[in-house]
Homo-oligomer: A and B are copies of this chain.
Amino acid sequence: MPRDNDAFQPTSGMVQPRFAGIATFMRLPYLAPEQAKGSVEIGLIGVPWDNGTTNRAGTRHGPRQMRDQSTLMRQVHHVSKLQPFKLANCADLGDVTVNPIDLMDTLKRVEAYYRSIHAAGIVPMTAGGDHQISLPILRGIAHEGPVGLVHIDAHTDTSDRYFGDNLYTHGTPFRRAIEEGLIDPKRMVQIGIRGTMYSTDEKDWGHAQGIRVIEMEEFHDLGLDAVIAEAKAIAGTGPTYLSFDVDSLDPVYAPGTGTPEVGGLTTIEAQRLIRGLRGIDFIGGDVVEVSPPFDPSGMTALVGVSMMFEILCLLAECVAHRREAR
């Protein structure tokens, strides 16, 4: 099944030191989307956009810093022994060309980009950008019918409107996605939710839709294994998207983000949580809200790409299974 295509292997740090060379995601070859069609199975894509941010901006710089830090990733998962670059043809497809001045224009540009690569059979692994980007991504890849969602985050991102009458912010993407029929709320689970709230009824809409919300405190009380089991049961066997907001992690692990909430996940909890989702039929994933200006050290980006590697292992295995099943 594994194809081990020489053209899509990362440069080894044993040959070229990891600090050397132009930084692409995971040291993979760069192909423009038009070049990628036909051979690439998983596209690693940046969406450098933060105009949906209601507090501290800066995630527009996320993809570049994540590329830089991703050169620390190697080829084999140390627990599962999965080798994503042998399971599927992976490449860096560059960044979507966004418009930092115009939110509605960018929503269209991102949707069009993802529709195009989705049509070409490329599974997207996205680095944000703020969480608003998940909406146009889902518009691009989930328009055939609602998908499941495993959503790891400190915030539910199901608010309705901001600053009067604004429908589109990084606090609203999943409300819009449910309203537009892109996500099946019965197949949606949110993990890591916490932090002060604007009102007591803030989470009522989500509960009414049937979304399962596992707050941090319940995460600790249930234990990791039970959370994983429940998440898998909710996602079921249908196509599912995985969205990872780095603010799900405690701010010590991800200080470089726009809306930090203390009391979050540790990195090893997050890694084991993602690993535990093996078996779900994932059709794409994203890691969002890495904001380099608030962490010049790059450690938040390193955490982000470490999560990307975990998700990539899941996606690559799914791609291989689907290829085999054809």
Contact = CB atoms under 8 A, between A and B. Distances in A.
A68 interface: yes
Interface string A43-76: 0001010111111111011011001100011111
Most interface-central of A196, A215, A303 (chain B CB within 10 A): A196
A54 B302 contact: no
A81 to B, nearest CB: 6
Given A14-B163, A196-B77, A21 B58 contact: no
Contacts of A67: 22-23
A260 interface: yes
A190 interface: no
B21 A95 contact: yes
Interface residues of A, number: 95
A266 B13 CA distance: 28
B202 A76 contact: yes
Nearest to A167: B101
Interface stretch (A110-118, A228-236, A289-297, A317-325): A289-297
Nearest to A23: B64
A101 B169 contact: yes
A220 B54 contact: no
B53 A100 contact: yes
Interface string A1-30: 000000000001111111111111000001
Given A21-B94, A22-B94, A252-B253, A14 B73 contact: no
A217 interface: yes
A212 interface: no
Interface in A303-317: 303, 306, 309
Nearest to A272: B217
A24 B103 CA distance: 27
A302 to B, nearest CB: 6
Contact of A55 (B15, B72, B216, B309): B72
Contacts of A56: 19, 61, 293
A192 to B, nearest CB: 11
A79 interface: yes
A253 B48 CA distance: 28
A290 to B, nearest CB: 13
Interface of A: 12-24, 30, 46, 48, 50-58, 60-61, 63-64, 67-68, 72-79, 81, 83, 92, 94-95, 97-103, 105, 162-164, 166, 168-169, 193-200, 202, 215-217, 220, 250-253, 255, 259-260, 262-264, 266-268, 271-272, 293-294, 296-297, 299, 302-303, 306, 309
19 contacts: A12-B198, A15-B163, A17-B60, A17-B100, A20-B63, A21-B94, A50-B57, A57-B60, A74-B195, A74-B196, A74-B198, A75-B199, A78-B215, A99-B164, A102-B163, A250-B268, A262-B271, A263-B271, A294-B297
